[in-house]
Amino acid sequence: MGCCESIFSRRPHPEGDIYSGHNHNNQLLSHNNHHLQTDPPQPNGIDSGPSSSGGVPGFSEFLLAELRAATNNFSPDHIVSESGVKAPNVVYKGRLQSQNQNHRPWIAVKKFTKLAWPDPKPFAEEARGVGKLRHNKLANLIGYCCEGDERLLVAEYMPNDTLAKHLFHWENQTIEWAMRLRVALYIAEALDYCSTEGRPLYHDLNAYRVLFDENGDPRLSCFGLMKNSRDGKGYSTNLAYTPPEYLKNGRVTPESAIFSYGTILLDLLSGKHIPPGHALDMIRGKNILLLMDSHLEGKFSTEEATVVLDIASQCLQYEPRERPNTKDLVATLAPLQNKPDVPSYVMLGIQMQEDAPPTPQHPLSPMGDACSRMDLTAIHQILVMTHYKDDEGTNELSFQEWTQRMRDTLEARKRGDLAFRDREFRTAIDCYSQFLDVGTMVSPTVYARRSLCHLMCDQPDAALRDAMQAQCVYPDWSTAFYMQAVALAKMDMHKDAADMLSEAASLEEKKQRGGKGS
Catalytic sites, residue numbers: 204
Q: How far is CA 427 from the centre of its chain?
A: 41
What is the 3-state secondary structure of 311-343?
HHHHHCCCCHHHCCCHHHHHHHHHHHCCCCCCC
Closest residue by Cα to residue 324 from 188, 218, 133, 180: 188
Which 3 state secondary structure label does DSSP give 305? helix
Characterize the bridge pairing of strands 60-61 and 141-145: parallel
Within its chain, how far is the Cα of 130 from the centroid?
21
> Under a CB-based contact definition with an 8 Å cutoff, are residues 91 and 110 in contact?
yes
Q: Closest Cα partner for 228 from 93, 144, 344, 110?
A: 110
Chain centroid, CA 319 distance in Å: 41
Distance CA 218, CA 229 (A): 26
Strand ranges for 230-277 from DSSP E = none
Contact 227, 84 (CB under 8 A): no
DSSP assignment of 395-417 equals ----GGG--HHHHHHHHHHHHHH
What dihedral do alpha carbons 214, 220, 222, 228 form, nearest 10°?
130
148-167 exposure pattern, b = at least 16 Cβ within 10 A, e = fewer? eebbbbbbbbbbbbbbbebb
Which strand ranges, in their side-by-side order, compose the sheet holding 79-83? 60-61, 141-145, 151-156, 106-112, 89-95, 79-83
3-state helix, strand, coil in the chain (%, to 5): 50, 10, 40
CA distances from 4 to 19, 434, 455, 480, 490 (A): 13, 21, 19, 12, 19
DSSP codes, 237-249: S-GGGS-HHHHHH
Q: What is the dihedral of CA 361, 362, 366, 371, to 10 degrees?
A: -30
- 84 sits in which H/E element: none
Interatomic CA distance for residues 105 and 109, integer angstroms: 12
